Structure 1
Amino acid sequence: MLDTKIKFYKGRVALNVLAKDLENAIAVYEAAEGHAVVGLLSKNYNTIEEGVKETKKYLEKLGVVSVGLGSGDPSQFEKAALIASQTDPGHVNQVFTGAGYAAGALKANGYNRTYINVLMSPTGQPGKVKINTGELSSKETDAIVDIDTAVAMLRDMKAHSVKFFPMEGLKGAEELKEVVKASEKAGLELIEPTGGIDLENFEEIMKICLDSNIPRVMPHIYGSIIDKETGLTRIEDMKKLYEIVKKLV
């Protein structure tokens, strides 16, 4: 089990969310009693140095950060990996083809407390996933492979979890079940359902993951809990999500 910086509720669940600014991030973190990981998107920074500076600022207050891409933008994979490799944030998002790069960069700097996820996408076929999520490969013919093979490749790259995106909420539920089975069988310790998760479908999606022996679950909940006018993540929505977590775990 990774000696992670992330606080998982009862060792099982942490919420991956966004925040408009540091003040909003602190409020979000506190609303979940520390069982939340705020994402910082590489796409928002012009340089790696700018991203490193901002990440360190958030780490001082929160202790953990999820370095993201920005809507799964594959062109951000290297920037995200290098920001993470200089900050050991606790969590970094990666496209399928970038996970090994991120793992090597973290290890080269002696860091071993950051989870690396691998972006795999639904195909409409339970048991099959799309893995050409990289900067160049995403522009080519889809590479659709068996989920067991994809998870084995994830382990080859020394990554830790499947980021299943974009799920489109419950539309991807049957496919998520197969991802969960494969992750459990391979002994992965974390799974990350992502895309279209909201207050209405959150509980059902979480049950799919929690009904397995996968030790840890980190759902990504983004736009559905962000106020469209202010850009702030709604604290009341965070509290509601956290109450559901406490009910389920």
Structure 2
Amino acid sequence: MLDTKIKFYNGRVALNVLAKDLENALAVYEAAEGHAVVGLLSKKYNTVEEGVKEVQEYLGKLGVVSVGLGAGDPSQFEKAALIAAQTDPGHVNQVFTGAGYAAGALKANRFSRTYINVLMSPTGQPGKVKINTGELSSKAADAAVDIDTAVAMLKDMRAHSVKFFPMEGLKGAAELKEVVKASERAGLELIEPTGGIDLENFEEIMKICLDSSIPRIMPHIYGSIIDKGTGLTRIEDVKKMYGIIKKLV
């Protein structure tokens, strides 16, 4: 199992959320008693160097960061990988075709404490996932493949987990169940449901993941807990989700 920087509640669950700024991030981290990873999106940086600078600032205060793409933007895969390769942030998001690139970049710098996820998307068919989530492939005809094959390819690339996005909340529940089963069969140590998760459906989505032998779960909760007026992630909502985690785990 990866010697991760991330603190998982009871060794099992950590939240992945956004924050408007470092002050908001620190409040989020405190609300979840450290069992949260704040995402910094590569899309907001003009250069890799700019991203590295901010990630290092956050790491100095939080110890761990999730380097994201920005709404799954495949054009950001290389920037995200290179930022992670210079910072060993703890977690980096990748499109399917970028995971091997990120793994190689991290290994070249002898970094080994960062999880790499792989973006796979729903197809409407439980047991099948869309893997053409890359910069060029996302514009081509959809590649819907068997989930067990997709997870085997993920392992070939030396990545660690499936980021199943966009789930659209419980609309993707049946497909998530198959992703969880395949991840369990393959011995993956992390699963990351993403897209449309809110306070209403959070518990049910978590139960789907927890009802497995997968050691670690990291749900991504974004817009539903961000105040549209201020842009701040609502601390009370983080506390409520953390409370649900403590009840379930």
**TM-score of Structure 1 vs Structure 2, range by shorter chain:** over 0.9
**C-alpha displacement at 1:70, in angstroms?**
0.1
Aligned to 2:104: 104
Cα displacement string for residues 34-87 of structure 1 (whole angstroms, at most 9, x for unaligned residues) = 000000000000000000000000000000000000000000000000000000
Aligned to 1:222: 222
Aligned to 2:189: 189
Aligned to 1:3: 3
Tell me how far apart the structure 2 counterparts of residues 165 and 144 of structure 1 sit (CA, whole Å). Answer: 14
Aligned to 2:70: 70
Q: Aligned ranges for residues 107-186 of structure 1 at < 5 Å? A: 107-186=107-186
Tell me how far apart the structure 2 counterparts of residues 180 and 21 of structure 1 sit (CA, whole Å). Answer: 33
Moved over 6 A (4+): none
Percent identity of paired positions between Structure 1 and Structure 2: 89
RMSD (Å), alpha carbons: 0.1
**C-alpha displacement at 1:90, in angstroms?**
0.1
**C-alpha displacement at 1:25, in angstroms?**
0.2
Instruction: Describe the SS at the equivalent of 1:54.
Output: helix
Instruction: Describe the SS at the equivalent of 2:221.
Output: coil
Tell me how far apart the structure 2 counterparts of residues 180 and 27 of structure 1 sit (CA, whole Å). Answer: 31
* Residue 213 (structure 1) aligned with residue 213 (structure 2): yes
Tell me how far apart the structure 2 counterparts of residues 144 and 117 of structure 1 sit (CA, whole Å). Answer: 18
Counterpart AA for 1:173? A
**C-alpha displacement at 1:177, in angstroms?**
0.2
Instruction: Describe the SS at the equivalent of 1:86.
Output: helix
Counterpart AA for 1:120? M
Tell me how far apart the structure 1 counterparts of residues 18 and 138 of structure 2 sit (CA, whole Å). Answer: 25
Tell me how far apart the structure 2 counterparts of residues 145 and 234 of structure 1 sit (CA, whole Å). Answer: 38
Tell me how far apart the structure 2 counterparts of residues 237 and 138 of structure 1 sit (CA, whole Å). Answer: 33
Counterpart AA for 1:136? L
Q: How many pairs are equivalent? A: 249
Tell me how far apart the structure 2 counterparts of residues 85 and 7 of structure 1 sit (CA, whole Å). Answer: 21
Aligned to 1:13: 13
Tell me how far apart the structure 2 counterparts of residues 60 and 199 of structure 1 sit (CA, whole Å). Answer: 30
Counterpart AA for 1:172? G
Aligned to 1:34: 34
Cα displacement string for residues 2-44 of structure 1 (whole angstroms, at most 9, x for unaligned residues) = 0000000000000000000000000000000000000000000
**C-alpha displacement at 1:230, in angstroms?**
0.0
Instruction: Describe the SS at the equivalent of 1:124.
Output: coil
Counterpart AA for 1:209? C
Tell me how far apart the structure 1 counterparts of residues 50 and 6 of structure 2 sit (CA, whole Å). Answer: 23
5+ residue gaps, structure 1: none
Aligned to 2:232: 232
Counterpart AA for 1:164? F
Cα displacement string for residues 204-230 of structure 1 (whole angstroms, at most 9, x for unaligned residues) = 000000000000000000000000000
Aligned to 2:24: 24
Aligned to 1:200: 200
Aligned to 2:45: 45
Tell me how far apart the structure 2 counterparts of residues 29 and 222 of structure 1 sit (CA, whole Å). Answer: 15
Counterpart AA for 2:76? Q
The TM-score normalised by the length of structure 2 is 1.00
Cα displacement string for residues 159-204 of structure 1 (whole angstroms, at most 9, x for unaligned residues) = 0000000000000000000000000000000000000000000000
